[in-house]
Amino acid sequence: MKPKHQRLVLALMAFIALIGAGFIAAAALRDEASYFYTPATMSKAKIEPGQAIRLGGMVQKGSIVQGADGVSITFIVQDRDATQKVAYRGITPDLFVEGSGVVADGRLRADGVFVADSLLAKHDENYVPKELADIDMNTAEHTKDTLSK
Amino acid sequence: MIAETGLAALWLAAAMALLQLVGGLTLLRGEGKLTPLIKPAALVQGALCVVSFSSLMYLFYVTDLSVLLVASNSHIDKPLIFKLAGTWGNHEGSMLLWVSVLSLSGAAIALLEKRIDARTLNATLAVQAFVALGFFAFLLFSSNPFERLIPAPVEGAGLNPLLQDIGLAFHPPTLYIGYVGLSVAFSFAVAAMLTGQVGPAFARAMRPWVLGAWIFLTVGITAGSYWAYYELGWGGWWFWDPVENASLMPWLAATALLHSVSVLATRNALRAWTIMLALVAFAMSMAGTFLVRSGILTSVHAFAVDPERGSFILALMLMYTSLAFLVFATRIGTVKQGEPFQIVSREGGIVANNIFLSVILAIVLIGTLYPLAAEAMGDKISVGPPYFNKATAPIALLLMAALLLGPMLRWRRDELKRHKYWLVGFFAISLWTGVAIWRFVPGVGVFPILGLALSLALAVAAWVPLKGRKLLRTPLPVFGMVIAHFGLAVSVFGMAAESGFSRETLTALAPGESAKVADWQVKLDDVRPVVGDNWVAIEGQLIARNNSKKFTLRPQSRQFYRPEQQTSEAALLTRWNGQLYAVIAQPDENGDGRWQVRLWWKPFVTFIWFGGLLVAFGGAIALLGRMFRRAKKPAVNKWAQA
């Protein structure tokens, strides 16, 4: 290879590699990026069961029901206009309480229940999941009673 | 008074940086009157930053609540070590640390660097000062750490309990030294382009800095991963969280740069390529700082968030990056073509390394920024582990495969058939491992299988460069390379074993009941309340049995006050072949006295971090070798003349 060509070849290889990276990223994003919904936008959008999405809203008061195995729960996420039933198996995040914000990663089951793989709760007063910061709702104050329940 | 001293020192340091910059500008048209001042100004700037940072640390030490930053991040009841760590556990303090490290690096160049010509050295210091100046402005105008609070509160707000951990005392400073160390590579690269000195001498001057920054980044990422693993209590060791990506991206760029700068130093090839990587590496450091500090992305780690400051850092980052690329575009034509090489050669192998690393970097960058771009268009999208694992794992495996062969190739030109026995051997090891796992362990994913297969081959291949060498006369950097590559094999082995073979049990147990995970029988013996310095907790006592051996684990669920927050403290039992990981959570709400317990058996998970430390250790050996050689060289010459 002539020296003059070498720089050209190297630059070309780098260029092709980056284009390739773009394609890989685009393909993976198409399959794996998950859209964010609230119960209201979710009911309007047609969502295929099994497709990965995020669901955010407030945990409805009195809706948390614990399963017999002690580690499964169901609860209802609500925004101003709609509600969505969620099932989750696992340890809930520290500040997961009724009346507070939650973001769930997961997918719809065929029966219309949202099955969450993970839950993200409002962390503390300084940290709100970004998706929830924009949703205007009457957030319940945490008190010591609700926390130590 | 201390606060005012710190602030004054910060202003003076900024003035020194300005002096250096002006001196540098006069340098562009030959020697100016200010040129001799550049070096001393760099030293004074470094010293002033030490004064400023020490002042802030002292304020945290005495918990001076009349300072806003201390009042809002510390508390009189906090243990001393966390008071001190609180200095950089917040936005303003961490940015002060950032700029202090930047200044100290400048001072270190001024003091130690003797290999490049005075003009390039002065230009480097001027560029370094130019970068520092932007961040001084950021601190002084939008994030003053010394702001007073009048009247002073009585006790202070406290520090996020997740951050009250010994890991925090060392983790951010380590990463920052790495981030900022790359600024030195950036300054060298820009200066060398401006003075037209892109060549082996410049590469040899830059190399220890890249190596040093890379070692700190490696340690920082490894420590951060372990911190997230035991502190968050989620059992994972890498979450592809934006803040983790922010540390991974500079590391990827620095790793590529580390390899290409060696080619430039020893073979005088890959000149423009190396310069480009140096610019990208620091751009990634700034992007990382921006992502972490702006709070623009949702993150489990984003503790100090303020979008307005984000735009300031974004502006700085865009300015420095675009100016540097402008210099690249206009000056790279004057950089001469490097020495030629064949595709099958050590250089060719390093080009492959660089390309694979750049592709991974691009994929991570796109995945991290895509949610932002989508949000600008009105869509709310999140990109998580499924994307990153799927897109990066194949490329990482290709990189590993290339690494089997690369280090044993000759410089300039080589032939594959010279290495055919090794190639066949590596292929056999990989194939045998892969088929054995696939055949005898059902349900393991393809990536873990390939990861295990390639890591075993690499564990052998890494040592091949030592073959045929007299060990006592082998240069330390070669040992460093071998150790680092072996460390990578160890780490990937751990990652593959953990992701392919972990076992998990999630259950609710009443005291006296047992659960099984992998070969372990775990009994919940007792649950009792415990009290700490600034928290109360429930503590589970778990008895884990494996064959006849018996161990006790004590996971806690802690309730902190000031600020009020709950955390779970996982209990880890480390064996040579893995870890038992236990978490206890709230009592079962059915009111039957059961407690939620989550258990994992994670085979060889500790190899991930041991491997990471080995990689860093290899880097340290190489760095020692470079410094030792430099110190020794004049003596050798004298001896040769005599």
pLDDT of residue B637: 38
Give the one of B341, B351, B598 whose C-beta lies nearest to A91's C-beta.
B598
pLDDT score, position A69:
84
Residues B432, B551: one domain?
no
Assess whether B515 and B575 both reside in one domain: yes
pLDDT > 50? residue B67: yes
Quote the minimal CA–CA distance from A93 to chain B in Å. Answer: 9
Q: Cβ of B272 under 8 Å from any chain A Cβ?
A: yes
User: For B65-82, what is the HEC assignment?
Assistant: CCEHHHHHHCCCCCCHHH
Question: Which of B249, B341, B359 is the mutation pick for testing A, counting most A CBs within 10 A?
Answer: B359
Cβ distance B286 to B321 under 8 Å?
yes
Q: How far is A134 from chain B (nearest CA, A)?
A: 11
Mean pLDDT of chain B: 87
**Do B31 and B140 belong to one domain?**
yes
Fold of A35-147: OB fold (Dihydrolipoamide Acetyltransferase, E2P) (2.40.50)
pTM attached to this predicted model? 0.90
Choose the mutation target among A2, A4, A6 for the interface with B, i.e. most B CBs under 10 Å: A6
> Do B487 and B510 fall into the same domain?
no
Could you tell me which residue, B23 or B494, shows the higher pLDDT?
Answer: B494
Minimal C-alpha gap between B78 and chain A (Å)? 19
For residues A123-134, one letter each, b for 16 or more C-beta atoms within 10 angstroms of the residue's C-beta and e for the rest, the string is bbeebbbbbbee
Give A81 to chain B, closest Cα distance, Å: 19
Query: Hey, which bits of B192-262 come out as E strands?
Result: none
What is the rounded distance in angstroms from the CA atom of residue B486 to the CA atom of residue B252?
18
The CA distance from B392 to B389, in Å, is 6
For B82-127, the DSSP string reads HHHHTTTSSHHHHHHHHHHHHHHHHHHHHHH--SS-HHHHHHHHHH
CA distance B340 to chain A (A): 5
In chain B, residues with a C-beta closer than 8 Å to the C-beta of A4 are: 337
Nearest to A17 among B355, B381, B567 (CB): B355
Residue among B272, B355, B358 whose CB faces A7 most closely: B272
Domain contains B198? no
Residues B593 and B631 placed together within one structural domain of the fold: no
Does B308 contact A at CB distance below 8 Å?
no
Instruction: Give the residue from B108, B137, B159 where a domain finishes.
Output: B159
How many other C-beta atoms are found inside a 10 Å radius of the C-beta of residue B472? 5
Residues pairing with B484 in the sheet = none
Find the domain containing B73 and state its range.
1-159
pLDDT in tens, chain A (149 residues): 555 678 888 889 999 999 999 999 999 998 888 888 889 888 888 888 888 898 988 898 889 998 888 889 999 998 888 899 999 998 887 778 888 888 898 999 999 999 999 888 765 444 455 555 555 443 333 322 333 22
- Nearest chain A residue to B568 by CA: give it: A94
- B45, B17 contact by CB (below 8 A): yes
- Per CB-CB distance under 8 Å, the chain B contacts of A90 are 506, 598
What's the rounded mean pLDDT across residues B146-171? 72
Quick one: B23 and B133 in the same domain?
yes
* Strand order, beta sheet including B595-603: B503-509, B595-603, B578-587, B571-575
Give chain B's domain count. 3
Q: Which of B340, B342, B592 lies at the smallest CB-CB distance from A3?
A: B340
CB contact under 8 A, B303 and A126: yes
Q: Is residue B292 part of a domain?
A: no
**Nearest residue, CB atoms, B363 vs list A6, A24, A33:** A24
Task: Show the CA angle centred on residue B13, arms to residues B280 and B191, nearest 5°.
Answer: 35
- How far is the CA of B30 from the CAs of B23, B25, B26, B34, B117, in angstroms? 11, 10, 7, 11, 14
User: Which residues of chain B have a CB within 8 Å of the CB of A38?
Assistant: none
Would the CB atoms of B386 and A144 count as touching at under 8 Å? no
A91, A95, A141, best to mutate vs chain B, most B CBs in 10 Å? A91
Q: Is the pLDDT of residue B248 over 90?
A: yes
Q: What is the number of CB-based contacts under 8 A between chain A and chain B?
A: 147
**With pLDDT > 90 as the criterion, what percentage of chain B qualifies?**
53
Cα B111 to Cα B104: distance, rounded to the nearest angstrom:
10
Q: Is residue B449 part of a domain?
A: yes
> Strand, coil or helix: what is B526?
strand
Task: Flag whether B107 is in a domain.
Answer: yes
Interchain contact, B272 vs A20, CB within 8 Å: no
In this structure, the answer to whether residues B43 and B120 fall within a common structural domain is yes
Residue B63 is predicted with a pLDDT of 85
CA distance A52 to chain B (A): 10
CB contact under 8 A, A7 and B337: yes
Residue B380: its chain A contacts at CB < 8 A?
35-36, 54, 131
Contact assignment for B359 to A20 by CB distance below 8 Å: yes
Q: Indicate yes or no: CB of A124 within 8 angstroms of CB of B342.
A: no
State pLDDT tens for residues B216-230: 999 999 998 998 898
Model confidence pLDDT, tens digit, residues B51-63: 999 999 999 998 8
pLDDT tens figures, B570-598? 999 999 999 999 999 877 666 678 888 99
Q: Is A17's CB within 8 Å of B596's CB?
A: no
Residue B623 and residue B597 share a domain: no
Q: Do the chains contact at B342 and A1, CB–CB below 8 Å?
A: yes
Residues of B in contact with A126 (CB under 8 A): 303, 305
Please indicate if any CB of chain A lies within 8 Å of the CB of B369.
no
Per-residue confidence band for B149, with pLDDT thresholds at 50, 70 and 90: confident
The residue with tokens 């934006």 is: B242
Same domain, B12 and B106: yes
Residues of B in contact with A62 (CB under 8 A): none
B382 at the A interface (CB within 8 A)? Answer: yes
Among the candidates B143, B159, B175, a domain finishes at B159
Looking at residue B634, what is its pLDDT? 47
Q: Given this model, what pLDDT does residue A118 score?
A: 87
Query: Does one domain contain both B531 and B474?
Result: no
Whether the pLDDT of residue B132 is over 90: the answer is: yes
Asked, for residue B518, whether it belongs to a domain, the answer is: yes
Q: Is the same domain home to B148 and B59?
A: yes
Q: Is B376 on the interface with A (CB under 8 A)?
A: no
Does any CB of chain A come closer than 8 Å to the CB of residue B590? yes
For residues B623 and B209, what is the distance between their CA atoms, to the nearest angstrom? Answer: 9
pLDDT of residue B604: 96
Is A59:A75 a contact under the CB 8 Å cutoff?
Answer: yes
Same-domain pairing of B472 and B529: no
- Helix boundaries (H) for B332-414: 346-376, 385-405
